[in-house]
Structure formats: structure tokens, C-alpha cells
Amino acid sequence: MNNLNDVWRKRFTHYINELQKYMRYIFTGHMAIVIVFLLGAGGYQYSEWLKDAPKDFPTIWVVSIIMGIVLTFSKPVTLIKKPDEVYLLPLESKMNTYFNKVLNYTTMSQMLVAVVVYIVMWPMMRQVGEIEVTGILIGLAFTILLKWWNVHVEFMFRWATKGRFVWLDRIGRAILSGTFLFCLLHHESFLAIIVIFLLALYPVICKKKTMEQPFPYEPFVKLEENRMLGIYRFANYFTDVPAIHGSIKRRAYLDFVLKIIPKSKKTTFEYYLLRSFLRTDDHFYLWLRLTVITALVAAFANMPIIVGVVAAALSFATAIQLKQALSKSSDFTMSLLYPIKEGARPAAAIKIARYTLILQAIIVTLAGIGQPYFYIHGLIVLIVGELTLRMSK
């Protein structure tokens, strides 16, 4: 443990292995198809908009605002753990070695997102904004530098304030980053000099405050735990993650839904599983997210083939995951004490999943009104979902 490079290397290796372990369940064959079709549909819509974009479109303003927001979110990936508050305390004077690794990885991993977003807006800047290629390339170079700046400043600000007022810091950095890019693309030299001065002064102030106090482990431990929890929650929508346990919420406003299940011995599991679906965050938000994504695609994509593929893939994901989640449980329930036949729970799980697919089909159909062949998309949800429920184990 005396070699902080080894500490980082071991933790980074474990972190990458964790990501690979769960990401392979997320980016499966059908998900890859959905992503390809979504990118194709988005690219087509974007190219069509570029042909008819108004000449007075505020291109530089849009680029500056979007990039300011993208550059601002620069959470450091520290891989700090709770025991470090004790075990790394004797090495605090040498922690800069570890933090350099942290900042280098955070910058490189997040820089790709900023560069991709900037490159996506390149055609808009060239065709609509009529910005010279040289100016766009200079903007790209400074986008990379601004990302480096944002990562280091957020890390120092969290250290200086012990994790407080981060939202205020982000607002300030978003304004500075966006304003600098605006000055760069709009050739505002005087304002650019002022912004450069502020960009240089900001980290100096933060650095000075970090030198006045020891490293605050607690906020960074909490940040790291929340970041990993977010990864696990996302992966949990596609596969079971042992590190996460779904939370329960009352949701009294949805109690009226339970009235569709008659209270009788034959419908014991149907009532129980519907109630579980409505109150378990993992199940409920899984269905809600997939339904909202499908509805948005149906509402805004005017390419029936693309909408059909997305509707089929996401209805499959809804059906297979809800069926597996509702039909299996290792927990003891009071229903085990009652004389209910053995296959009642799997049958009830299929029925509840079918109800959710029917509602999903209705929402997708209503969202697509105005688009060509909108009624087909709801039928695709029902057909693919029913086939999945019947043929899957």
C-alpha cells in the first residue's frame, strides 16, 4: 500500500473489469441494432434540417451554450473508498501522485464526449453559421483545453468546499466556458481577454484554498459511491446486479390501478405482483423509461421502419425483463402459506407483464398520431411483446 501507483493500478483494473462485466449485458445484439438505427435516423433528420435551416439561425449561440453545458459536467473519477480515510492518511503528503492519475483518467475519459458533441455540430457551424474551417479547428483545440480546465477546477473546488455548492461552481464554469467559445468563434477579442483572465484566476483561487486544508475524504467517497451506484442501477435494467437492491415507494396515486384486479383466491398473485410492480423502483422505472423512449421516437421520427425497429426492440426488452423480474423471487412471502397452485406466480407474472405492454402500446400509438402508419407501431409492441412472453423461459 506504500506505492500509490500500485493502489491506483489495482483499483483501476477492478473498475474496468466491473464495467466490462455489466456492459456486455447492456450492449447486446438487439441493443446494438437499436443504437445503429437511432444514429441513422438522427443523422438523417439532422442532414435534412441542415438543408432547410434558416440563415439567421444563432449557430454560435447554440454551439456555445451546448458546449458550455457539456464541458461543465466533469465529475472526477477518484476510486476513493471509505477505508481510505484511515489507511491512506499516513500517505497524505504523497497523494498528489494518486490524484494525478485520477485527473489524467478523468480528463481522457470525458474528453471524448466533448469532442464528439463538437464534431456533430461541425456541419451546422460550416453550412449554417458559415464559419471557416480554421476557426472550427481552433474551437476544437480549445474545447479540449477547456475540458482539461473544467476537470481540474471541479476537483479543486470540491476539495476546497468539501463537496458543497458544486451547482454554483458549475453555473460559473458553464458561463465561462460557453462565453470563451462564443468569443473565439465570433472573433470578440476584447471580451476573450477578460474571460481568459477569469479562466486563469479561478483555479488559482481554488488551489490556494485546497492548500489550506487536508483532503476531504468523505464527500469524495460519497461521490464515488453514488457514481458506481448509478452504473449499477443502469446495468440493473438489463441484468441482475448483486450490488444493488431496489428501493420501494408507496405511490398512493397509483392505487386506483389495483382495482382492475378482482380480490379473489384465483387472482392472489396477480394482485400481489401488480402491487409489487407499482411500488418497486427497478420494475416501475424500467417500464417507464422504455415506454418514454419508444413514445418519443414514435412522436418525432417520421421514418416508420426506424420506429418499428425501436418499438420491437424495446417491447422485447420490456417483456423479457418484467417477466423474469416478476416471476422469480427468493424472498419468503405470506402467499406461500396459502393453498395456491404451484404455477400461479409465473402465470400471473405473464399476465401483469401483458397489461404493461398493452398500456405501452396505447401510449406509443397516441404519441405517434400525426406520423405515417402510426397505428402499426402499437401493434408491433403488442405482437413482439406477446411472442416474447410466450416463447421466453
Whether the model pTM is above 0.75: no
Q: What is the mean pLDDT of the chain?
A: 85
Q: What is the 3-state secondary structure (H, E, C) of the chain?
A: CCCHHHHHHHHHHHHHHHHHHHHHHHCCHHHHHHHHHHHHHHHHHHHHHHHHCCCCCCHHHHHHHHHHHHHHCCCCCCCCCCCHHHHCHHHHHHCHHHHHHHHHHHHHHHHHHHHHHHHHCHHHHHHHCCCCHHHHHHHHHHHHHHHHHHHHHHHHHHHHHCCCCHHHHHHHHHHHHHHHHHHHHHCCHHHHHHHHHHHHHHHHHHHHHHCCCCCCHHHHHHHHHHHHHHHHHHHHCCCCCCCCCCCECCCHHHHHHHHHCCCCHHHHHHHHHHHHHHHEHHHHHHHHHHHHHHHHHHHHCCCHHHHHHHHHHHHHHHHHHHHHHHHCCCCCCHHHHCCCCCCHHHHHHHHHHHHHHHHHHHHHHHHCCCCCCHHHHHHHHHHHHHHHHHHCC
How much is the average pLDDT of 212-231?
87
Of 249 and 2, the structure prediction assigns the larger pLDDT to 249
pLDDT for res 35: 72
pLDDT of 329 strictly over 70: no
291-306 pLDDT tens trace: 988 888 888 777 788 8
What pLDDT does 345 receive? 81
Parse the chain into domains and list their residue ranges.
4-234, 252-391
Residue 389 has pLDDT above 80, yes or no: yes
Average pLDDT rounded to a whole number, residues 139-160: 94
pLDDT band at 336 (very low <50, low <70, confident <90, very high): low
Average pLDDT of the segment spanning 189-194: 88
Return the pLDDT at 200.
92
Residue 215 scores a pLDDT above 80 = yes
pLDDT in tens, 166-185: 899 999 999 999 999 999 98
Q: Does residue 373 have a pLDDT over 50?
A: yes
The 10s digit of each residue's pLDDT in 28-38 is 655 666 677 77
